A and B are shown apart, each in its own frame.
Chain A
Amino acid sequence: MIRFDQATVTYRGGVTALDHVDVEIPDGEFVVIVGLSGAGKSTLIRAVNGLVPLTSGTVNVGDRDVGQLTKRQLRALRADVGMIFQHFNLVDRTTVLNNVLMGRLNRVPSWRSMLGWWGGDEVELAMQSLEVVEIVDKAYIRAANLSGGQQQRVGIARALAQQPSVLLADEPVASLDPPTSHSVMRYLQKVNRELGITTLVNLHFLDLAREYADRIIGLRGGRVMFDGPGSAADEKVFEKIYGRSLTADDVLEAEASL
């Protein structure tokens, strides 16, 4: 369970990106967060693993209060929470396998990870993660040589290698074309359904959100404007979240038909 309690983030410079947010996410749920650019989606997601500290209020992941953790405990929490990025954030110049093994860093002794001396178990786990996203055949290829969709699958595998209980994805399909976007979303859904990992995804395409989400949270100006099942989020709701009528830019398929 993830619980935001009056969570507020004010950045240096005075922008309030999260404004007294109260949200509770039970284990195993697939949650999609929508909102305009600047609405605070990334901030919400990054508060979960402590990449962005709260200004006031609390975030709890399980029984851990993120703001109260020591450095070491914070690293342990991050190891337990996988993250997927818009620009994949892979190390281009090394192999896919090495990228995935990055997900194991917190679980191996520091000196061994320095030498790159991974145990057989770690490599096995990395390989299995690659198998989940069906890209194990590329294990020894340099990440730079993969297509965008393939790179994002490696990103997912890296997060899975952490054996996380929570998965965060910050606009995981924003750099991909429509068919690839669906493919990546399906992998996320599969991971959520089959492995029971709580999943939080930021999206700005409404149709994608409605198609994959158990639950949609709509943000605007750092406040929760909507919180309910995907099926309940109709056009009216989206217009309220966005504060304007919808355009072709807000849906993925419109782009595809261009």
Chain B
Amino acid sequence: MSQVEHDDAGPPAASTAPGAQRPKRPRPSPFLVGGFAGLLAMTIATGADWEFGIGFSLIEVWDGFTRSNSPMRGLAEIDLGSLLGSRARDGFLETVQMAVISTIAGALVALPLALFNSKLGAPNRVAYALVKLFNNIIRSIPDLLWALLFVAAVGIGALPGILALFFFSIGVVTKLTSDTIDGIDHGPVEAARASGASHLQVLRVAVVPQVLPAYTSFSMYCFELNLRASAVLGFVGAGGIGAVIDFYRGQGQWDRVWGVVVGFLIVVIVVERISMALRRRLL
């Protein structure tokens, strides 16, 4: 207690303390200075008009948007009627089909991978490291790049789109779920081990039940992502509503492009609302 009194208990009503010195203003921390310098250097290097820069200029941006141009004229004359045509309807249907199939298949594969992708669930270090590496590589390949590869492998159409979203889903769901596994309660795991369960049995009875709600929620989140992603796969020939957008764009019919985009927006927002409501109840 004596230390406390010394630290906190000031003297009774006396005049201001003569003792304590005012501290000097400290220098800003090296992290702060370095971070700020890095930010500035990076922005100048990427934005300036030199060999390795983009040459970003606000004037050019302003000119671009204020000059008359076909996409913005199309936006003004947006044609929502295009949504009713059979081309758009088939495109939306295909987009949803692709998202459903690939999410379900991807999420099923992701569950065992997620178990192996966590310290707790991996049977040994080698499996852990391999799965981790595999997953990191999968995740660093963007969805559209998957689509490019699969179009090259199996030709254009919905199939390469489904395959692309399938691999993309594996990456997303595995990562999110394995992060959750690392944070679960170890009690049940120990209890299962103590009763002599094998490693797989432990995973089945003690780990999976704990992560199931989170896993389901991530899978639904992934469905949202896939729906959104499927709008662009068409640009490389992998089907879905993106193909319809690309078609109208090729024709220069921007009013129809925007019509389809608005329809897509509504689908995405509605699905997101429903999915978020369901996910909130799960967790």
Q: In the complex, are the beta carbons of B13 and A183 less than 8 A apart?
A: no
B16 at the A/B interface (Cβ < 8 Å)? yes
What's the tally of chain B residues with a CB closer than 8 Å to chain A? 21
**B10: which of A133, A137, A177, A193 is its contact (CB, 8 Å)?**
A133
Q: In the complex, are the beta carbons of B22 and A139 less than 8 A apart?
A: yes
Q: In the complex, are the beta carbons of B22 and A136 less than 8 A apart?
A: yes
Min CB distance B201 to A, Å, is: 46
Chain B residues contacting A189 (CB-CB under 8 Å) are 12-13
Dominant secondary structure of chain A at its interface with chain B: helix
B1 at the A/B interface (Cβ < 8 Å)? yes
- In the bound assembly, the distance between CA atoms of A182 and B17 in angstroms comes to 18
- In the bound assembly, the distance between CA atoms of A150 and B23 in angstroms comes to 16
What's the tally of chain A residues with a CB closer than 8 Å to chain B? 26
Dominant secondary structure of chain B at its interface with chain A: loop
B15 at the A/B interface (Cβ < 8 Å)? yes
Q: In the complex, are the beta carbons of A132 and B23 less than 8 A apart?
A: no
Q: In the complex, are the beta carbons of B25 and A140 less than 8 A apart?
A: yes
B51 at the A/B interface (Cβ < 8 Å)? no
Q: In the complex, are the beta carbons of B17 and A131 less than 8 A apart?
A: yes
Chain B residues contacting A131 (CB-CB under 8 Å) are 16-17, 20, 22
Over the window 144-160 of chain A, the binary record of Cβ atoms lying under 8 Å from chain B Cβ atoms (1 yes, 0 no) is 00010110010000000
Min CB distance B15 to A, Å, is: 7
Q: Which of B1-27 contact A (CB under 8 A)?
A: 1, 4-5, 7-17, 19-23, 25-26
Chain A residues contacting B19 (CB-CB under 8 Å) are 134
- In the bound assembly, the distance between CA atoms of A133 and B11 in angstroms comes to 10
Q: Which of A160-200 contact B (CB under 8 A)?
A: 177, 179-180, 182-183, 186-187, 189-190, 193-194
- In the bound assembly, the distance between CA atoms of A194 and B12 in angstroms comes to 12
**A140: which of B1, B7, B10, B26 is its contact (CB, 8 Å)?**
B26
Q: In the complex, are the beta carbons of A136 and B8 less than 8 A apart?
A: no
Residue pairs across A and B with Cβ atoms less than 8 A apart, 11 shown, are A132-B16, A134-B19, A136-B20, A140-B23, A140-B26, A147-B7, A179-B5, A180-B8, A186-B11, A190-B13, A190-B14
In the complex, besides A132-B16, A134-B10, 7 extra interface pairs with C-beta distance below 8 angstroms are A127-B22, A136-B22, A137-B21, A137-B22, A140-B26, A149-B7, A183-B9
